[in-house]
Amino acid sequence: VTGSAVGVDVGGTKVLALAVDSGATVLAERRVETPADGEELLEAVAGVVVELWEAASGSAGGAVGVGMPGLVDPTGVLRFAPNLPGVVGLDVVGGLQRRLAAARPGGSGAVVVDNDATCAGAAEHLAGAARGVSDAILVTLGTGIGGAIVSGGSLLRGANHFAGEIGHMVIDPSGPACACGGRGCWEVFASGSALGRLAREAAEAGRAEDVLARAGSAAAVRGEHVVESALAGDEQAASIFELFGYWVALGLSNLANLLDPAVVVLGGGVVRAGDVLLEPIRRAFNATVEGAAHRPEVRIVAAERGADAGAIGAALLALSAG
């Protein structure tokens, strides 16, 4: 696969569009806010794509990939998106094809739409930390937990392209309420947001002095403060990562028992912390995965494509679709 494509990552609050070449290099970017209405959203996405086409003076390829935060069916219709309540049932592929065909003589090339975490996983699989790995799990610890599964060298899609919804794996049915309406989902314990909650509890209990000083008040503590504090060598921040790492590892070992990956790639802002976070996760994982002493070690590594992974992966998926 050669050439270039535009990849778009639609988030709950912003839209990121990147022109990306087949080597996963970012050529140009555009950002806009995410409109609440479905038709306006399609208009905004088509707008940034056309801007990137125009900026590239025709050198950006016509293929377009879009990652959406929800369940996208194989025909490109968004079926369910908790963070975009106005857009259930939106025909993203059809709506974009219509708008883009008008803007580009000769047609727009392939338009593919997929789940945003699937796109981010594709970026790590095709051009990141899981490059060349046949069996991998790609996990993004953000507001929630997103995931993608690579099995036998390909993204695992499922019957309706809805596979990889790992954040709502229930790990404690009597646990705290989740935004999805359930209780005790993994993302309640192990997302970036959950790290912030753990850190606020530690700050309120007097067990996070450096973290508290960085945030200004216990209520203002976020996961990023723990990351900064831990990177500066603070032991209390390291203790928060020990507890957080246990919860991350609990879900990862469930996934590893099911899927037997060679590599687990962790993304999201918290992985900036590096080994001070990854080591507690690795220790807890090896203590809980089935038959740890009798199987090759599962490598647990940080993602390489950062916050651009969703848009890069969307572009790479569009390129491979032609």
Q: Site for a copy of itself (CB under 8 A): which residue of 176, 257, 275, 322? A: 257
CB of 100 to a copy of itself, least distance (A): 26
Question: Would you count residue 242 as binding a copy of itself (CB under 8 A)?
Answer: no
Residue type present at position 234: D
Q: Site for a copy of itself (CB under 8 A): which residue of 6, 20, 169, 309? A: 169
Per-residue binder mask for a copy of itself (CB under 8 A), 75-94, x = binder = ----xx-------x------
- What sections of 37-91 are H helices per DSSP? 38-55
Q: Do the beta carbons of residue 211 and residue 240 sit within 8 Å?
A: yes
Q: Do the beta carbons of residue 187 and residue 178 sit within 8 Å?
A: yes
Q: Site for a copy of itself (CB under 8 A): which residue of 4, 193, 229, 253? A: 253
Among residues 235, 308, 319, the alpha carbon closest in space to that of 267 is found at 308
Part in contact with a copy of itself (CB under 8 A); list of ranges 118-126, 159-167, 228-236, 306-314:
159-167
Q: Over the range 243-263, which residues count as b (16 or more CB within 10 Å of their CB) and which as e?
A: bbbbbbbbbbbbbbeeeebeb
Question: Would you count residue 321 as binding a copy of itself (CB under 8 A)?
Answer: no
Question: Would you count residue 250 as binding a copy of itself (CB under 8 A)?
Answer: yes
- Site size for a copy of itself, by CB under 8 A? 48
> What DSSP element (H or E) covers 212?
helix 209-215
Question: CA angle 41-44-46, nearest 5°?
Answer: 110
Question: Would you count residue 301 as binding a copy of itself (CB under 8 A)?
Answer: no
Q: Rounded to whole angstroms, how far apart are CA atoms 193 and 143?
A: 5
Query: Taking CB under 8 A as the criterion, which residues in 20-59 touch a copy of itself?
Result: none
Cβ contacts of 269-273, under 8 Å, gap ≥ 24: 269/142, 269/192, 269/223, 269/224, 269/227, 269/307, 270/141, 270/192, 270/195, 270/223, 270/226, 270/227, 271/141, 271/302, 271/303, 272/227, 272/231, 273/226, 273/227, 273/230, 273/231, 273/241
Q: Do the beta carbons of residue 301 and residue 131 sit within 8 Å?
A: no
Question: Would you count residue 158 as binding a copy of itself (CB under 8 A)?
Answer: yes
The number of beta carbons lying within 10 Å of the beta carbon of residue 287 is: 11
Question: Would you count residue 180 as binding a copy of itself (CB under 8 A)?
Answer: yes
Question: Would you count residue 151 as binding a copy of itself (CB under 8 A)?
Answer: yes
Q: Site for a copy of itself (CB under 8 A): which residue of 20, 163, 271, 273? A: 163
Q: Rounded to whole angstroms, how far apart are CA atoms 123 and 313?
A: 4
Question: CA angle 146-24-159, nearest 5°?
Answer: 40
Part in contact with a copy of itself (CB under 8 A); list of ranges 6-14, 35-43, 56-64, 158-166:
158-166
Part in contact with a copy of itself (CB under 8 A); list of ranges 51-59, 199-207, 214-222, 259-267:
259-267
Q: Site for a copy of itself (CB under 8 A): which residue of 2, 152, 219, 235? A: 152
Q: Site for a copy of itself (CB under 8 A): which residue of 159, 205, 217, 235? A: 159
Question: Would you count residue 254 as binding a copy of itself (CB under 8 A)?
Answer: yes
CB of 161 to a copy of itself, least distance (A): 7
Residue with tokens 């879900």: 251
Please identify, using beta-carbon distances, which residue of 170 and 218 lies nearer to a copy of itself.
Answer: 170
- Residues of this chain that interact with a copy of itself (CB under 8 A) are 71, 79-80, 88, 134-135, 147, 149, 151-152, 154, 156-166, 168-174, 180, 182, 250, 253-255, 257-262, 288, 290-291, 293-296
